[in-house]
Amino acid sequence: MSFHTQLVQQTQEARMGLLSAPIIQGCLQGQVSLPSYVAFLTEAYHHVSHTVPLLRACKAALPAHHVWLYDAMDEYVEEETGHDEWILNDIRACGADAEAVRHGKPGHAAEVMVAYAYDTIARRNPLGFFGMVHVLEGTSVSLALLAADNIQKPLNLPDAAFSYLRSHGTLDQEHTAHFELLMERITDPRDQADIVHAARAFFRLYGDVFRNLPLPQVAVAAQQRTAGALA
């Protein structure tokens, strides 16, 4: 069994935990709101703005026997540069204050996720960063394009408000194929275990980002009705 297949299988439960976040399930059912979408973009900006610094930190920390990853890391940097600005443009297209987001602070969940990424690179194993890549790119491939459609139609937002979701949904289809090839070259059992460990952690941490977003009022009302029925 290939390592990439093992990675997918061994993190499946953690992945389902992320997908069970109420705001994700609500979005798939058409329960959306502009404040919720802007809140998502805000947190996305605050972790995506660290993607390139994290990639560079990962490359710098790689041990000598992983220099073969340098070219791949450089390609990731080139492709990811400027994506945080895409998000700010989306926020502007939603009528929200992009500059306030740029100069603001992330929510606790996003801040912890980013901090864990830096800590993984510096303290545990820089290859653990690929666990974050697996979580973010794999999630965007499965959800981004569908979510964009489900959000745009009921809110009547312009295409300009979805450059991040739609571009990532398309780009990450290519990235995941490349990622799979890279993972096939990771043969050390410790490196493999560290990537799996990090991926499980990032599924939980990224799930916390979604669980801390404000729910659309229709979803809040549904939760209250369910709670009342169980009381």
CATH number at 137 reads 1.20.910.10
Specify the pLDDT at position 18: 95
Q: Is the dihedral of CA 93, 98, 101, 102 positive or negative?
A: positive
Range of the domain at 144: 3-230
Q: How many domains is the chain built from?
A: 1
Ordered DSSP codes for 190-213: HHHHHHHHHHHHHHHHHHHHHHTS
For 228, half-sphere exposure in the C-beta direction (CA atoms, 13 angstrom radius) is 6
**How big is the chain, counted in residues?**
231
Per-residue tens of pLDDT for the chain, all 231 residues: 899 999 999 999 999 999 999 999 999 899 999 999 999 999 999 999 999 999 999 999 999 999 999 999 999 999 899 999 999 999 999 999 999 999 999 999 999 999 999 999 999 999 999 999 999 988 776 788 888 999 999 999 999 999 999 887 555 556 677 899 999 999 999 999 999 999 999 999 999 999 999 999 754 444 444 445 445
Specify the pLDDT at position 169: 58
